[in-house]
Structure 1
Amino acid sequence: MDWRAVTFDWNRVRAFLVTAEEGSLSAAARALGLTQPTLGRQVEALEQELGVALFERHGRGLRPTPAGLDLLTHARRMGDGAGDLALAVAGLSDGLDGEVSVSASDIYAARLLPPILARLHSAHPGLRIEVVADNALTDLRRRAADIAVRNVRPGDPDLIGRKLRDADARLYAASSLLDRLGRPTTPEGFAGAPVVEIDGTGALRALMAGMGFPVEAMPFPYRTSNFVIAWEMVRGGHAICILDDRIGDAEPGVERILPDLPPIRFPVWLVAHRDVRRARRLRVVWDALASELR
């Protein structure tokens, strides 16, 4: 290989790759922890170095030009290689000091992780833990996080997973809302009850319809993809919503709307790259999460 021909800067390639995947300079800058002008200069420098335009304006964002799309395939391979190198470097150290990033849904990150992470920090003060609150599947191959709490089994052969438990989700409302509704004893009695919908897929409507609720007669005046916001709507007495009963049952002033309804069961998985076994600090965090979330 002629190493003299490899003259471009990886940081510039990384700036291009993340901008292409995030769709805008502002989103890419947030993902990389850089300022937007700094990231923009890196992308512009790569364009000047290669002598081609890599992006074109598309609405409020950016999309790769044909030349950018050609480069993107190679940049992704470089990104995967950089991620593998970072994982290997992490495995060279057997110390406990250093950073570990943990990805979980917003509600798990807000309600379940804090006491676990506080106990970890107390036992291992040198650990610095970043919490990535994300309801999407965080890309562990590209080091968006080191460890993730998910509700699906990993399909990537480079990832390992441990099923922690089958969790139960139930429908909840504030006691004050149930009092205003007259405390119905059947699903049919909740006609007119407000519900906060999670995302725009209609999944919660379909789920409730399957449980016998008259969803055609129930307003869905709120919608959010953020479970923390939805739970605040429940706590405030504004609407009904669904949540993991480990969180819902512990909330003062909130009740299962029909305690005898069967739960909605879903799996909880702990997922990481296979190299998690090679770095002691990652193993320590993995083991603590596996033990306490189970």
Structure 2
Amino acid sequence: MDWNLLKSFAYVVKEGSLSAASRALNSTQPTIGRHIAILEEQFGFSLFTRSRDGLEPTEEALDLYPDVEAMLTRFDSFVRRLEGEKDEESGTVRIATSEVMGIEVLPDMLKKFHRAHPKIKIELSLSNKNENLLKRDADLAIRLNKPAQEALLAKFVGNVSVHFYAHKDYLKTYGTPKKLNELKDHVIIGPDREQVFLSALEKFGININREDCDFRLDNQVGQIELLRKGLGIGVMQKPLAKRSSALVAILEKEFQYQMPVWAVMHEDLRTNSRVRLVYNFLIEEFQKYTSVSSS
């Protein structure tokens, strides 16, 4: 089977239309459409149905997609590995990390790295779910917990302190809570369906539940932005909060959550010069970042 056919199929599922898939693959819409038609003829069933919003994958297509996507991931990993063995100063490195780290923290670091190594391309996989490095979903990762798999090379780079913060304009209007149990009397920015952090608060004797949160969203970058706009009290990493003089720490002594940061890569890539270059760079940069928490 022609590999390009499967690649076109995967991108039509991801992008939702032939035109969007053709742009993502730097191809043409007729070519992508022809690939889908060939696959449908080979498989003997339809892969997509047309709708008002574009192309909807059929049930059969959705069953096939995870396996095809896994093949794409492994193929990209294979290409990156070959590139790394050719030249440590060129090629692609895929980094997996959380949304907050990827959007709020990594850009400044990667700007510095790109200036020093302009031929190395960086792919970012941003998700609060851990990418499976054993399956080569990414080359390396910045994780907020220690990996359990023995086949991974992990380096603890430091702890990031997480505190409650509020904008000074909010505190001017609503006042500042003096005790943890006074938080419920304030406007709280918190999660919607994700309850992991609220469960962590219970260990500090803070009984805040979903109904106590006036603004609810699971996207942590969105939570931070609401906090920055002065909508209420929320949690934030100390190094991020210190970038703005308008943010004030709340009950800093009463509540301090230490979040460990680990740099992780597959041990098979330890000899890949390019990946190791990025890995060592991120270790150094995140050691500087986490050191702000102790200051």
**1:163 equivalent in alignment to 2:161:** no
Q: 3-state DSSP class of the match of 2:57? A: strand
**1:147 equivalent in alignment to 2:140:** yes
Alignment check: 8 A CA contact 2:161 2:259 kept: yes
**1:62 equivalent in alignment to 2:57:** yes
**1:228 equivalent in alignment to 2:221:** yes
**1:108 equivalent in alignment to 2:97:** no
Alignment check: 8 A CA contact 1:25 1:39 kept: no
Equivalent in 16, 26, 49 of residue 25 of structure 1: 16
Distance 1:143 1:121 in 2: 23
C-alpha RMSD of matched pairs (Å): 3.7
Distance 1:217 1:274 in 2: 41
- Return 129-138 or 229-238, whichever deviates more: 129-138
CA pair 218-186 structure 1, distance change in 2 beyond 3 A:
farther
Alignment check: 8 A CA contact 2:73 2:137 kept: no
Alignment check: 8 A CA contact 1:161 1:270 kept: yes
Alignment check: 8 A CA contact 2:93 2:122 kept: yes
Alignment check: 8 A CA contact 2:161 2:256 kept: yes
Distance 1:219 1:77 in 2: 41
The offset of 1:254, in angstroms, is: 0.8
The offset of 1:264, in angstroms, is: 1.7
CA pair 88-237 structure 1, distance change in 2 beyond 3 A:
closer
CA pair 269-15 structure 1, distance change in 2 beyond 3 A:
farther
CA pair 219-272 structure 1, distance change in 2 beyond 3 A:
same
Distance 1:157 1:16 in 2: 35
What corresponds to 1:200 in structure 2? 193
The offset of 1:148, in angstroms, is: 1.9
Distance 1:166 1:204 in 2: 17
Alignment check: 8 A CA contact 1:187 1:211 kept: no
Q: 3-state DSSP class of the match of 1:243? A: strand
Identity, % of aligned positions: 25
Alpha-carbon displacement from aligned partner over 1:146-179 (angstroms, at most 9, x marks no partner): 3221223335565433222233222111122223
Equivalent in 277, 282, 286 of residue 289 of structure 1: 282
Q: What runs of 5+ residues in structure 2 fail to find an aligned partner?
A: 288-295
CA pair 56-139 structure 1, distance change in 2 beyond 3 A:
farther
The offset of 1:288, in angstroms, is: 0.5
The offset of 1:73, in angstroms, is: 8.0
Distance 2:204 2:28 in 1: 48
The offset of 1:19, in angstroms, is: 6.3
What corresponds to 1:191 in structure 2? 184
CA pair 78-205 structure 1, distance change in 2 beyond 3 A:
closer
The offset of 1:234, in angstroms, is: 0.8
Alpha-carbon displacement from aligned partner over 1:95-139 (angstroms, at most 9, x marks no partner): 302333333222222332222222222322333334443333235
| Residues 1-294 of structure 1: pairs in structure 2 closer than 5 A | 8-16=1-9, 25=16, 33-34=24-25, 37=29, 41-54=34-47, 61-62=56-57, 64-65=59-60, 69=63, 75=68, 78-79=71-72, 82-83=75-76, 85-140=78-133, 144-155=137-148, 159-213=152-206, 215=208, 219-294=212-287
Matched letter for residue 48 of structure 1: E
Q: 3-state DSSP class of the match of 1:191? A: helix
Distance 1:121 1:253 in 2: 31
- Return 42-51 or 256-265, whichever deviates more: 42-51
CA pair 93-204 structure 1, distance change in 2 beyond 3 A:
same
Q: 3-state DSSP class of the match of 1:239? A: coil
Distance 1:293 1:136 in 2: 20
- Return 130-139 or 109-118, whichever deviates more: 130-139
The offset of 1:186, in angstroms, is: 0.4
CA pair 219-68 structure 1, distance change in 2 beyond 3 A:
closer
- TM-score, normalised via structure 2 length: 0.77
- TM-score, normalised via structure 1 length: 0.77
